[in-house]
Amino acid sequence: MLDRVAASALAARSVPPGLELDDPRARELETGWFFPYRATDPDNPPIGTNGVIVNKQTGVTFHLGSAFPVERDLALYDRGYLFTSCDLIVTRIADMELTLDTLEQLELSTVEPTYEYGTVWRIPRRLTRAEIRSTLVKLPHVFGPLSLYFRAEALETANRNGAFTFEVLGCP
């Protein structure tokens, strides 16, 4: 388990240009350490990032975006939403239609390689509702890898309404 000093050293390795760690404002989370950034030039602050989380167990860093409030991102991270890449495992379904509604919001996709003009094309396409339904015949079913940064609230709603039971696990 990483302590604050070790986590700070890991966080410092990946600070974007124009920023530095605001170490005095660092916070311990349940599953990681959060280090906010501050601009090295307050008159020209970079945009697009609110800081970095260092996972206590693995040392893996996750850079927060700026699309959402920091508190939202920290709370979801501690609830297991490893936004960069994760697997969603559906383990039980209580309401199929609500489950399908939620999974459609996640914009699940598949890649079917095709060959044309001497090139293998790997263009993702969204799964249809019927395709998602057919995958849920046998549980547990794994969807992934997924990025949930913009869609985690859909799963939080499903968790509250009990439509289905799931796990979210980080991917390498």
161 phi and psi, to 5 degrees?
Answer: -85, -5
Same domain, 92 and 55: no
- Write the pLDDT tens digit of every residue in 95-151: 999 999 999 999 999 999 999 999 999 999 999 999 999 999 999 999 989 988 888
* Residue 32 sits in the same domain as residue 93: no
Q: Are strands 124-126 and 109-111 parallel, antiparallel or unpaired?
A: antiparallel
**Which percentage of the chain shows pLDDT scores above 90?**
70
10: exposed, middle or buried (Cβ count in 10 Å: 0-12, 13-18, 19+): middle
Domain termination residue (choose one: 78, 96, 112): 78
Last residue of a domain, one of 34, 51, 78: 78
Same domain, 11 and 30: yes
Res. 82: pLDDT tops 80: no
Q: Are residues 63 and 118 in the same domain?
A: no
Q: Are residues 56 and 110 in the same domain?
A: no
Residue 142 is part of which domain span?
Answer: 86-170
Amino acid 107: pLDDT: 94
| Residue 93: Cβ within 10 Å count | 17
Q: Which two tokens stand for residue 154?
A: 């859909």
Residue for token digits 């260092």?
54
